[in-house]
Chains A and B, each alone.
Chain A
Amino acid sequence: MSNLEDLYREIILDHYRSPRNRGELATPPAHKVEGFNPLCGDEVTVYLDVEDGVLKDIKMTGHGCSISQSSSSLMSAAVKGKSLDDVQETITTFKELMTASGASADEETGAKNLRSLGELAALAGVVKFPVRIKCATLAWNTLQQGLTEISA
């Protein structure tokens, strides 16, 4: 079962069972953005409260598999309170992790990226299950869309 344990790390199961930053924010002032995965029916709604270039608060609702839900939860914990530049950098680093090239990047960069991701690194095993990558990236793509809408 080594493959499965790689995918379903304890941190992932923990975030699935007790998702962080679950709920809604009043809109306005918060910005609301929805993401769907039409193939598997996963849904996520992200509420973003941005003030002075800082993501002051983030809340999320939705339903889906353990990978999509834990990824949303881990994401919210990772980006809450960060400057928008830092949020953008975290998105970029995470999405690199979810590509084959990210996984096979040279060891030094790879290790540095993993360290910078903290708990998010628990999702690194997903890349070995290509069908599940879209589960892990759903919340991130939705967050990215929200940030683009806010800056527009």
Chain B
Amino acid sequence: MASGQRVSSFNARRVRNDIPQLTRQVHGRTITYLDSGASSLQPRAVIDAMSTYYRLRHANVHRGVYQTANEATEAYEDARAAVGRFIGAPAPADEIVFTKNTTESINLIAKVWGSANLGPGDTVLVTEMEHHANIVPWFQLREATGVDVRFIPVGDDYRLDLTNLDELLRGVKLVSVTGMSNVLGTKNNVRQLADAAHGVGALIAVDGAQSVSHGPVDVTNLDIDFLAFSGHKMLGPTGIGVLWTRQSVLDPMGPFLGGGGMIADVRLDGFTPAKGVARFEAGTPPIAEAVGLHAAVRYLEGLGMDNVAAHERSLTEDALTRLEEAFDERIRVIGPPTVIDRGGVISLDVEGVHPHDVAQVLDEFGVCVRPGHHCAKPLMRRFHLAATARASFGPYSLSDDTTVLIEALEHALKMFG
């Protein structure tokens, strides 16, 4: 991570000025964007990089010999290496597979590594706080191979209950866990889980959709085997996701989808898959999106991920304090009450007001939050909730956003009270 060596140049107001969408007016008010957990907004640097690519440099990759085709290939492969360096990959250019999103990355693990390595008698250990993207692929694998799927429970403190971890790890071949809950904001101790998984000879996959964009993530320090994340949650474009896999695990893995670009040879009697990461990237890849993601990585490195984490921690602390002061028990935060091992995702249960109605009233104030089950229905059931209204921060968020949020929540309570 480059952030450690950099002199802090972080200034949230300057970041905000880099995001064109944050100047938008909605219902006569400037937008208050508190939905970065669902998707982040893009700085001009990302939009401009993609625009320049389409205006001057577009060509398909890995095929042509002409100048712009070379440039496009170089840009695409540069992005791969940059993303690898960003997460501390030991072999950045050889361990990063570009996918569509985090969901596809986890599906790739399940469908390629899982179906080759897991079967009846084996267990995948996930947690009760996972997004459906880290549950359903394992259930599908269970249907296909007979592997068992087991859950680490979540305690009343909104954290993983690791009391019976040794027992839960029995027969486990893969632990697949989120770095940070998209509902609770809880950050899991990934290194501890990695050590526990490796202790029983299992591998560990991390859903980094929330964690990679909000603080430093280093796969070497965490000692994990797979990391899945999305471009659009880290200031980059939609349509591109990332799967990092430790090279020793990646090398024996078979191909994913079949088609052009993933083969070494095709004959009338069969095919030979390509070597390297190409065998997981059939068809024309998201080239412009890779260029945009590269720009997002550069932008985040410029901010420094430690600075981003510190900024969001102080915003979260400020918001938790002010929400409690303003609403006491009328609004309950579904997640850890302090900022220790906690990110900037604040799920709200507003007394007497359904989350959809909360979000509707907030929209009238230009405030963007997300109502619903956040694709984590097992977790919602665990806390007897059908839905919450979730506010989430990004590097461009300011304490002013919380002020508008509180004003709008007061209106919602008054309306429905």
Question: Given known contacts A40-B371, A41-B372, is B354 in contact with A4 (CB within 8 Å)?
Answer: no
* CA of A109 to CA of B360, assembled, Å: 30
Query: Do residues A40 and B364 form an inter-chain contact, with CB atoms below 8 A?
Result: no
Interface CB pairs A-B, < 8 A, 17: A1-B364, A3-B27, A8-B357, A39-B372, A40-B373, A40-B386, A40-B387, A41-B372, A42-B386, A64-B356, A65-B354, A65-B355, A65-B356, A65-B357, A66-B357, A66-B416, A135-B356
* CA of A46 to CA of B46, assembled, Å: 51
Query: Do residues A4 and B364 form an inter-chain contact, with CB atoms below 8 A?
Result: yes
Query: Do residues B357 and A41 form an inter-chain contact, with CB atoms below 8 A?
Result: no
Residue numbers in A under 8 Å from B372 (CB-CB): 39-41
Residue A115 at the chain B interface, CB threshold 8 Å:
no
**Closest CB-CB distance, A128 to chain B, in whole Å?**
11
Residue A7 at the chain B interface, CB threshold 8 Å:
yes
Top 7 closest A-B pairs, CB basis? A65-B354, A65-B356, A41-B386, A4-B364, A66-B357, A65-B357, A41-B387
Residue B415 at the chain A interface, CB threshold 8 Å:
yes
Residue B75 at the chain A interface, CB threshold 8 Å:
no
When C-beta atoms are compared, the residue in chain B nearest to A129 turns out to be B360
Residue B361 at the chain A interface, CB threshold 8 Å:
yes
Chain B interface SS verdict (over half): helix
Chain B interface residue count, CB cutoff 8 Å, equals: 18
Query: Do residues A132 and B360 form an inter-chain contact, with CB atoms below 8 A?
Result: yes
Residue numbers in A under 8 Å from B373 (CB-CB): 40-41
Query: Do residues B415 and A40 form an inter-chain contact, with CB atoms below 8 A?
Result: no
**For residues 9 through 55 of chain A, which have their beta carbon under 8 Å from a beta carbon of chain B?**
13, 16, 39-42
* CA of A128 to CA of B380, assembled, Å: 30
Query: Do residues B386 and A3 form an inter-chain contact, with CB atoms below 8 A?
Result: no
**Closest CB-CB distance, B386 to chain A, in whole Å?**
4
* CA of A135 to CA of B357, assembled, Å: 11
* CA of A3 to CA of B354, assembled, Å: 18
What 7 new A-B contacts, CB under 8 Å, besides A39-B372, A40-B373, A40-B387? A4-B361, A4-B415, A16-B416, A40-B356, A63-B386, A66-B353, A66-B416
Query: Do residues A13 and B354 form an inter-chain contact, with CB atoms below 8 A?
Result: no
* CA of A65 to CA of B387, assembled, Å: 10
* CA of A149 to CA of B109, assembled, Å: 45
Residue numbers in B under 8 Å from A67 (CB-CB): 356-357
Q: Would you give the 0/1 interface string for A53-73, flagging 1 where the beta carbon is closer than 8 Å to chain B?
A: 000000000011111000000
* CA of A7 to CA of B372, assembled, Å: 20
Residue numbers in B under 8 Å from A3 (CB-CB): 27, 364
Residue numbers in B under 8 Å from A63 (CB-CB): 386
Residue numbers in A under 8 Å from B355 (CB-CB): 65
* CA of A46 to CA of B14, assembled, Å: 55
Residue numbers in B under 8 Å from A135 (CB-CB): 356
Residue of B354, B380, B386, B411 touching A66 (CB-CB under 8 A): B354
* CA of A1 to CA of B387, assembled, Å: 25
Residue numbers in B under 8 Å from A4 (CB-CB): 360-361, 364, 415
Residue numbers in A under 8 Å from B357 (CB-CB): 8, 65-67
**For residues 376 through 417 of chain B, which have their beta carbon under 8 Å from a beta carbon of chain A?**
380, 386-387, 411, 415-416
